[in-house]
């Protein structure tokens, strides 16, 4: 019997420990968990020949099962098994790597020598590899006297490398330490070299920077694929395998002058032919489009949940920091767009990476801790990783800066070096911080007698006999370091709502853009609320499955609206699918929000249904529902309309609104919604 070195090592671990998880085996053998699972398939076949089997025990790991005498017998035999350098699968992977690396055909005997196998064995391996290689539009050429090579377009060869990496490597290989130091297995090391492992972290740094500036984020899988494609491209260019300008896909034919290529050109000072630039540009453009589509889909699916969570988070952080974050509409919009995909990733237990996390924890230590407390309070039951807290801290940090810039800070200058130097310093500060307004220049004796309500901040060029937290000391020269110190100090100041004087209040005439915003928002509110109605809905108390009752209720709700049979069928399916992926019942109430967008919906619909009997929702069927707010919208709908619908759904966090939906009539509910939306419009108009 022949086993590979790696298989022997895995068997020895299982026989010695009797039980071990895939992660423990991977750590012992120095391979990835994915490789362990793949090798176990071959080991399972081997064990069956000796009356043994592999069993996965929940919570304990993997164990060899069988009669104890059989296990001891196999353990004795294992030492006498012939050891091959590589398993069949390892050998084939190495052969493909060698052929893809080569610039010319390789002789059959050279391949056999490299993988420590006989020539007939290599011939059989090539027979088995040919169909896979052909699937990528490539040809495996084998001719006597010529050798063996993989022929075809460079772009197709890169696709094959990407597939091999996805098949045989996992994230611990790609994002982990240098393979030269950590991996003893030549196959993994060779494949990582071919995939451009040495460039992976630098490519990620650049892509991460580009993604931070973009409005949308890629999914975890798409993000890893993009990094892999770009790393492979750089490794291939370095090894002299460049794209041919002929026969390129049509989408890569346009000259590439995208500014987002510049970071790659600087970080990797290679010769980038036009074909390579166009290909990299197409990859980044395609990823950006995919991110936008993914973002739109997730906003469509999770927009209401993200809006609710964002509003609760803003309220909680605002209370903890005594800051009016609710006035910053940009913060709410930014959080909703960020949290729709991030909540999906957290629910799916996907990895969230944040290369700036150490810096964020250092620069925003207090803010980071506050947001961790607020998240634990508002997102109870969800394990939110530190990386996500870091992203949220960046959103709130930017909001603090906006809020501080939007208000005036009244400052008092204390300076003993003369009126001239204090005037010069105040001019320098005013240029860098236009929000600071000086109420005067004083000596400390004079300043100590100025009422505290007249100023927010003391700026001094000398040490003062008061608590250091009540003033900031800077030199008359205002160095770059002191500028950052003052900016940080302003960022930590509590922002209180200011009463505006009559002259500061917005003019009722307003600007043309403001008038258009008011008009669009008002029109959207009217189009949603005018047809709004309330209807009682009977609930049959049949004994059938719960999903059948839900289907009947959804069908009954849609029958009250002007949809064709085909439209109703599609919308009903969407609403039921949404419920399968997470209950739409609102915790702590007897209300559910059923909402969706569809091409089969022509105009927004908002309707309240009061059930004449209980409907039980949720995975465990324990959420009792007595009212359903149905919210429908077209797939193509204006941003303003989406804001109105999002604002209405967010009102479901307010107890008084829930109470109205449960008991009040339409004459009370409509004015309430109107007043709430009017207040939100006023914020938009002001901000």
Average pLDDT over residues 63-86: 79
Average pLDDT over residues 144-153: 91
Question: What's residue 272's pLDDT?
Answer: 85
Tokens of 77: 């035999």
Alpha carbon distances (Å) from 90 to 106, 166, 177, 235: 19, 15, 22, 22
Question: What's residue 686's pLDDT?
Answer: 46
Q: Are strands 457-460 and 533-537 parallel, antiparallel or unpaired?
A: unpaired
Name the residue with tokens 């491209």: 233
Q: Comparing 378 with 293, which gets the higher pLDDT?
A: 378
Alpha carbon distances (Å) from 86 to 27, 149, 212, 423, 628: 19, 21, 43, 79, 62
Question: What's residue 5's pLDDT?
Answer: 76
Do residues 491 and 498 touch, judged by C-beta distance below 8 A? no
Q: Does the pLDDT of residue 572 top 50, yes or no?
A: yes
With vertex at residue 171, the alpha carbon angle to CA 166 and CA 175, rounded to the nearest 5 degrees, is 120
Alpha carbon distances (Å) from 384 to 182, 331, 345, 362, 582: 30, 20, 10, 20, 18
At 421, the pLDDT band (50, 70, 90 cuts) reads low
pLDDT digits (tens, 9 = 90+) for 25-45: 877 777 777 777 778 878 888
The architecture that CATH gives domain 512-686 is 3-Layer(aba) Sandwich (3.40)
Closest Cα partner for 31 from 250, 240, 179?
Answer: 179
Tokens of 565: 């049979």
Average pLDDT over residues 478-497: 71
Q: What is the CATH number of domain 2-84?
A: 1.10.10.10
Tokens of 375: 């998240």
Q: What are phi and psi of 615, to 5 degrees?
A: -120, 130
Q: Does the pLDDT of residue 438 top 70, yes or no?
A: yes
At 687, the pLDDT band (50, 70, 90 cuts) reads very low
Q: Within the chain, which residue ranges are assigned CATH 3.40.50.2300?
A: 409-492
Chain centroid to Cα 96, Å, comes to 34
Q: From CA 23, how far away is CA 165, in angstroms rounded? A: 20
Chain centroid to Cα 421, Å, comes to 50
8-state DSSP, 509 = S
Question: What's residue 430's pLDDT?
Answer: 73
Pick 409-492's CATH classification: 3.30.460.80, 3.40.50.2300, 3.40.50.720, 3.60.20.10.
3.40.50.2300
Q: Comparing 582 with 170, which gets the higher pLDDT?
A: 170
Question: What's residue 326's pLDDT?
Answer: 78
Chain centroid to Cα 600, Å, comes to 30
């Amino acid at each position: 019997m022949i086993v590979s070195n790696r298989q022997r090592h895995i068997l020895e671990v299982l026989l010695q420990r009797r039980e071990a998880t895939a992660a423990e085996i991977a750590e012992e053998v120095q391979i990835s968990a994915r490789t362990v699972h793949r090798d176990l398939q071959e080991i399972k076949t081997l064990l069956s020949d000796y009356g043994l089997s592999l069993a996965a025990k929940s919570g304990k790991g993997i164990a060899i099962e069988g009669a104890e005498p059989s296990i001891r017998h196999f353990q004795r035999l294992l030492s006498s098994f012939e050891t091959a350098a590589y398993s069949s699968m390892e050998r084939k992977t190495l052969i493909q790597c060698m052929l893809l690396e080569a610039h010319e055909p390789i002789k059959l005997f050279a391949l056999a020598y490299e993988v420590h196998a006989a020539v007939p064995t290599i011939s059989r391996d090539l027979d088995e590899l040919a169909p896979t290689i052909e699937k990528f539009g490539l040809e495996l050429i084998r001719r006597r006297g010529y050798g063996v090579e993989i022929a075809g377009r460079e772009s197709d060869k890169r696709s094959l490398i990407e597939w091999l990496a996805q098949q045989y490597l996992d994230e611990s290989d790609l994002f982990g330490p240098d393979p030269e130091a950590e991996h003893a297995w030549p196959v993994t090391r060779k494949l990582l070299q071919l995939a451009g492992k040495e460039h992976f972290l630098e490519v990620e740094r650049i892509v991460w920077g580009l993604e931070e500036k973009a409005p949308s984020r890629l999914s975890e899988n798409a993000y890893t694929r993009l990094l892999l494609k770009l790393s492979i491209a750089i490794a291939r260019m370095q090894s002299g395998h460049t794209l041919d300008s002929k026969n390129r896909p049509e989408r890569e034919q346009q000259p590439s002058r995208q500014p987002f290529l510049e970071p790659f050109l600087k970080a990797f000072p290679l010769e980038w032919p036009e074909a390579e630039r166009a290909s990299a540009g197409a990859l980044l453009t395609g990823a950006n489009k995919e991110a936008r589509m993914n973002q739109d889909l997730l906003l469509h699916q999770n927009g209401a949940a993200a809006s609710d969570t964002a509003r609760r988070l803003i309220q909680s952080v605002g209370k903890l920091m005594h800051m009016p974050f609710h006035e910053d509409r940009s913060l709410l919009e930014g959080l909703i767009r960020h949290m729709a995909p991030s909540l999906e990733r957290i629910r799916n237990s996907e990895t969230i990476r944040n290369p700036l996390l150490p810096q964020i924890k250092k620069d925003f230590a207090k803010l980071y801790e506050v947001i961790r407390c607020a998240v634990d309070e508002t997102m109870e039951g969800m394990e939110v990783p530190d990386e996500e807290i870091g992203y949220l801290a960046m959103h709130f940090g930017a909001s603090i800066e906006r809020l501080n810039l939007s208000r005036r800070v009244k400052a008092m200058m204390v300076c003993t070096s003369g009126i001239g130097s204090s005037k010069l310093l105040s001019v320098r500060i005013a240029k860098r911080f236009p929000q600071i307004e000086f109420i005067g220049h004083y000596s400390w004796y004079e300043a100590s007698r100025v009422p505290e309500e007249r100023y927010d901040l003391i700026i001094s060029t000398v040490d003062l006999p008061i608590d250091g937290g009540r003033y900031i000391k800077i030199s008359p020269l205002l160095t770059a370091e002191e500028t950052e110190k003052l900016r940080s100090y302003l960022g930590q100041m509590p922002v209180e709502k200011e009463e505006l004087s009559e002259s500061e209040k917005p003019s009722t005439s307003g600007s043309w853009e403001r008038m258009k915003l008011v008009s669009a928002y008002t029109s959207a509110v009217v189009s949603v609320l005018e047809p709004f109605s309330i209807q009682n809905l009977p609930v049959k108390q049949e004994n059938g499955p719960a999903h059948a009752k839900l289907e009947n209720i959804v069908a009954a709700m849609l029958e009250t609206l002007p949809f064709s049979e085909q439209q109703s069928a599609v919308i009903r399916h969407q609403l039921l699918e949404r419920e399968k992926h997470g209950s739409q019942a609102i915790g702590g109430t007897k209300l559910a929000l059923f909402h969706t967008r569809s091409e089969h919906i022509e105009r927004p619909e908002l309707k309240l249904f009061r059930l004449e009997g209980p409907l039980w929702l949720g995975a465990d069927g324990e959420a009792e529902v007595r009212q359903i707010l149905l919210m429908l919208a077209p797939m193509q709908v204006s941003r303003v309309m989406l804001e109105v619908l999002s604002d209405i759904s967010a009102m479901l966090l307010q107890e008084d609104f829930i109470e109205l939906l449960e008991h009040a009539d339409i004459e009370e509910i409509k004015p309430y919604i109107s007043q709430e939306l009017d207040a939100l419009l006023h914020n938009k108009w002001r901000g």
